[in-house]
Amino acid sequence: MSYKDLISEKGLPSHVAIIMDGNGRWAKKRNKPRIFGHSAGVKSVKTVVEASREIGIKHLTLYTFSIENWKRPKDEVSSLMSLLVKTIKAYFDELHKNNIRVKVIGNYELLPEKIKKEVAYTQEISKNNTAMTLNIALSYGSQWEIADTARRISLEVLNGNIKPEEINTELFEKHLLTSHSPAPELLIRTSGEFRISNFLLYQLAYSEMYFTDTLWPDFNKEEFFKAIHYYQQRERRFGLTSEQLKNKPGK
């Protein structure tokens, strides 16, 4: 029996976020260069997007390239950027055909011009798609995002568009790069690491977290469905007691 058979349509997470880790180690085990692992990881991206569509996940966010990753060797960064352009061009038609909206979140200023152009084109063409939203965290760092959000809100205060007393969590969330998606209910991290690596720090406040030793290129549909099944076994209390949850209206 597959884990997919154990998943209930009721109680699916509307938003799943994934830290795709382990490409380099996967390649090293095969005595291959790191870019070989990144190329293999693209297949897992396609697999997870397809699996999400199959069971009805409406929002999927993939941690593709962090701000810290710019510190990696120049050859690796250059190869990653080339792979990214190639992947977007090769895979976008399929995403668009399947009515998937693509959003890229991150610090655009650090991206090469060719990437900026591909990102702009992809987002514009897919902006009205409604079946699913695929967020690609590219040149992304959550500490940077939070600081940048505070800066943009401060400018609106200075311009008289917002009063200081109007600033609350709801307003702050509307200014985050993920404002078009609900907060993730589930975070998945592959490769056996137990940290969130500057990823969606604000948005993950109440997310369930699932860690697996599986390296990203080996993360298949069954692994994904296993994570969803794990999520559905969790009791999400949001500060309440189990008794309070049972007595809530609609329970």
Do the Cβ atoms of 192 and 169 come closer than 8 Å? no
Task: Tell me how crowded residue 23 is: count the other CB atoms within 10 A of its CB.
Answer: 24
What is the reported pLDDT for 1? 80
Count of structural domains within the chain: 1
- Residues involved in catalysis: 21, 69
What is the reported pLDDT for 238? 54
Residue of 203, 99, 209 whose CA lies nearest to 145: 203
Q: Which residues of 177-215 are buried (b: 16+ CB within 10 A; e: fewer)?
A: bbeebebbbbbbbbbeeeebebbbebbbeebbbbbbebb
Amino acid identity for residue 161 in this structure: N
Handedness of CA 213, 217, 218, 219 (dihedral sign): positive
Q: Is 203 domain-assigned?
A: yes
Q: Is 173 domain-assigned?
A: no
What is the reported pLDDT for 235? 72
What is the reported pLDDT for 243? 62
What is the reported pLDDT for 92? 93
Q: Is 210 domain-assigned?
A: yes
State which residues form the domain around 86: 11-142+182-247
Q: Is 186 domain-assigned?
A: yes
Backbone torsions φ then ψ of 47, nearest 5 degrees: -60, -45
Do the Cβ atoms of 126 and 153 come closer than 8 Å? no
CATH number, domain with residue 135 = 3.40.1180.10
Quote the tokens at residue 165: 């007393």
Quote the tokens at residue 82: 């080339």
Residues 6+ apart with CB under 8 A from 146: 201, 202
Counting as low any pLDDT under 50, the low residues of the chain are none
Tens-place pLDDT, residues 193-243: 999 999 999 999 999 999 999 999 999 999 999 999 999 999 755 565 566
What is the reported pLDDT for 163? 97
**Entry pTM:** 0.93
Q: Is 92 domain-assigned?
A: yes
What is the reported pLDDT for 19? 98
Q: Is 129 domain-assigned?
A: yes
Backbone torsions φ then ψ of 101, nearest 5 degrees: -85, 135
Tens-place pLDDT, residues 23-40: 999 999 999 999 999 999
Q: Is 227 domain-assigned?
A: yes
Q: Is 158 domain-assigned?
A: no
